[in-house]
Amino acid sequence: MAKTALQFIHNGREVAVFVDGGANLLSVLRDLVGDHSPKFGCGQGGCGACTVLIDGDPVLSCVTLAESVAGKSIDTADDLKSGPDLHPLQTAFMANFAAQCGYCTPGMLMAAKALLDHNPSPSRAEVVEAISGNICRCTGYEPIINAILAAAGHGLRRA
């Protein structure tokens, strides 16, 4: 079956790939673009490990039709850091022991970034709501919630 040309902005850089019909965005990011930060968890849109931002809003890349992102801007956890400097959310996750196995962390970070970009001073309830679509089987969520609140408390110095 013929492949389709697809162009989009990945972490600020334009990329062009040829995709199979019906390919999901997660497979395109991981297999064709080489960005392994979004993870394959359930493949059903139920766990949030594959969360990325499309034009600033969180989506589940495993159930996003790749062709639907043509011309759009995709941001992933791969671009959160700036050289050796971690993003404040990453620093807060580290300081608050918010990652154990780490598999959910990229999705958690992007869900948290989407929240803080729109609401820099969220309440605890708003943080819980923001990560309600992201499953973590290690931490019990408390350290993640504390990390996001800590990042918000310190202010996000980088967008």
- Which H or E element spans position 116? helix 105-118
Please report how close the Cβ of residue 84 comes to another protein at its closest, in angstroms.
30
Q: How far apart are CA 119 and CA 103, in angstroms?
A: 25
Tokens in use for 10?
A: 């990945």
Least distance (Å) between residue 89 CB and another protein: 16
Q: How far is the CB of 154 from another protein (least distance, A)?
A: 22
Q: Whose Cβ is closer to another protein: residue 4's or residue 73's? A: 4
- Kindly report the backbone phi and psi dihedral angles of residue 137, in degrees, each rounded to the nearest multiple of 5, phi listed first: -100, 0
Q: What residues contact 26, with CB distance under 8 A and at least 6 apart?
A: 38, 40, 50, 61, 62, 64
Give backbone dihedrals phi and psi of 115, rounded to 5 degrees, phi first: -65, -55
Q: What stretches of the chain adopt beta strand conformation (E)?
A: 4-10, 13-19, 51-54, 57-60, 73-75
Q: Which is nearer to another protein, 85 or 129 (CB)?
A: 129
Residue numbers at the binding site for another protein (CB under 8 A)? 1, 4, 20-24, 43-45, 48, 51, 54, 57-60, 62-65, 67-68, 111, 114-115, 128-134
The minimum distance between CB 21 and another protein, in angstroms, equals: 5
State which residue, 81 or 124, has the beta carbon closest to another protein: 124
Q: Which is nearer to another protein, 48 or 88 (CB)?
A: 48
